[in-house]
Homo-oligomer: A and B are copies of this chain.
Amino acid sequence: MNFEVEKKEFLKGLSLIQSVAGRKTTLPILSHILLEWKEDSLYLTGTDLETAIREQLPATIHRDGKGSTSAKKLYEIVRELPDGTIHIEKKENHWMTLQCGKSVFNLAGLDPDEFPTMPSYREDFFSKILIKVVREMIGKSVFAASNEESRYHLNGVYFVQSKSAGREILRMVATDGHRLSLVDREGRLIRGLEKGIIIPKKGVMEIRKILEDRDGEGDMELYFDQSHGFFRMGKSLLVIRLIDGEFPEYDQVIPKGNDKKLVLEKEKVSGSLRRVSTMASDRVEGIRFSVKDNTLELSSYHQDFGDAREEVDVVYEGAPIEIGFNARYLIEALNVIDTAEVIMELKDEGSPGIIRPSSSTDPTDQLCIVMPMRI
């Protein structure tokens, strides 16, 4: 016997690694999980060469060692095992034997030394940050990142730190060229964020997943070097290869002269947008947005199905304005605003609109920009 581990712990670790292990099929070892057992811990590692996850689990170790086996198969097996202790023994030719209750599995393996080395990290470089701050900033930005592979420098979230009035401000920004989302939060100094880095969307999703059932009042630790981001949450370590590209000069995109200011009730306008967008054309999802005299009229037209129109009360007393928008972009922007009232700032039919929470005192505390479209 080499080591023993509890099923529940093992399953939790394996499930967190599933999404990265086996994502790349270029090398057989990448569909494997690396198991290393030493002192009083079992370490599970999976990687797709862009994101690597390492989980540390409590285990009873009888003899140090390591092995590798199919991440998917091991997960399927452990998921079906009854709660209890799992015994694992290393065999010849990189095989392992897993025994639990009356079940015995012989698992084919590869040489664990073939497993890609995880980038090494410096213990003293980590800074703490509240989990809820990271979760909130990701939630308010990542949806706007691009999914187009050709625009790889937009396939992630730009993360940067600056000083404002003596406070350290963390900022996340994402854009796909048609809309942009930006969020600022106060935080402590984080190593490597001075000049801004881009975390790929997939990596951001992994951070989110690992944070899912953690207590928001708790801390996580992180830092960045030239090429990687290092994230530590409890016994999980995540290393993400950063996107090597220039994030656009987003500051220039933020409109300055949007003098037509509407106050909207978020839930009401969201509902109207969802209804009217059912008749928007499939490809562009465009709707017409007309405002005058405290009334917003949303309308759409689909060449096969018909048309839709709805009025919503808003607060607006400026000159009438009519502008086309992608309905989904507006809905997604409203979704990440927490206040019941939302401010929308427009200029004219050819200029981007700004959406922000009504209570934001700092003009860049949070904002979404949506480009207009011809309808």
A81 touches B306 (CB 8 A): no
Chain B CB within 8 A of A77 CB: yes
Please name all residues of chain B whose beta carbon is closer than 8 Å to the beta carbon of A81 when the two chains form the complex: 275
Chain B CB within 8 A of A102 CB: yes
Number of copies: 2
Chain B CB within 8 A of A80 CB: yes
Please name all residues of chain B whose beta carbon is closer than 8 Å to the beta carbon of A272 when the two chains form the complex: 102-103
- Which residue of B has the minimal Cβ distance to A311? B102
What are 21 of the A-B contact pairs (CB < 8 Å)?
Answer: A69-B305, A70-B304, A70-B305, A73-B279, A73-B302, A73-B306, A77-B275, A80-B274, A80-B275, A80-B278, A102-B272, A102-B312, A103-B276, A103-B308, A104-B308, A105-B278, A105-B279, A105-B306, A106-B306, A106-B307, A107-B306
Closest 10 CB pairs of A and B: A103-B310, A80-B275, A106-B306, A108-B306, A76-B278, A107-B306, A80-B274, A73-B305, A102-B311, A105-B308
A76 to chain B, nearest CB (A): 5
Chain B CB within 8 A of A318 CB: no
Please name all residues of chain B whose beta carbon is closer than 8 Å to the beta carbon of A76 when the two chains form the complex: 278
Chain B CB within 8 A of A271 CB: yes
Please name all residues of chain B whose beta carbon is closer than 8 Å to the beta carbon of A278 when the two chains form the complex: 73, 76-77, 80, 105
| Segment 54-104 of A: residues with Cβ below 8 Å from B | 69-70, 73, 76-77, 80-82, 95, 102-104
- Docked Cα-Cα span, A271 to B69, in Å, equals 23
A: residues with CB less than 8 A from B are 69-70, 73, 76-77, 80-82, 95, 102-108, 271-272, 274-276, 278-279, 302, 304-312
Chain A interface, >50% SS class: mixed
- Which residue of B has the minimal Cβ distance to A70? B305
- Which residue of B has the minimal Cβ distance to A28? B304
- Docked Cα-Cα span, A82 to B309, in Å, equals 15
Please name all residues of chain B whose beta carbon is closer than 8 Å to the beta carbon of A271 when the two chains form the complex: 80, 82
- Which residue of B has the minimal Cβ distance to A76? B278
- Which residue of B has the minimal Cβ distance to A96? B306
Please name all residues of chain B whose beta carbon is closer than 8 Å to the beta carbon of A70 when the two chains form the complex: 304-305
Please name all residues of chain B whose beta carbon is closer than 8 Å to the beta carbon of A274 when the two chains form the complex: 80
Q: 16 additional contacts, CB 8 Å, given A70-B305, A80-B275? A: A69-B305, A70-B304, A73-B278, A76-B278, A77-B278, A77-B279, A77-B308, A81-B275, A103-B272, A103-B275, A103-B276, A104-B308, A104-B309, A104-B310, A106-B306, A108-B305
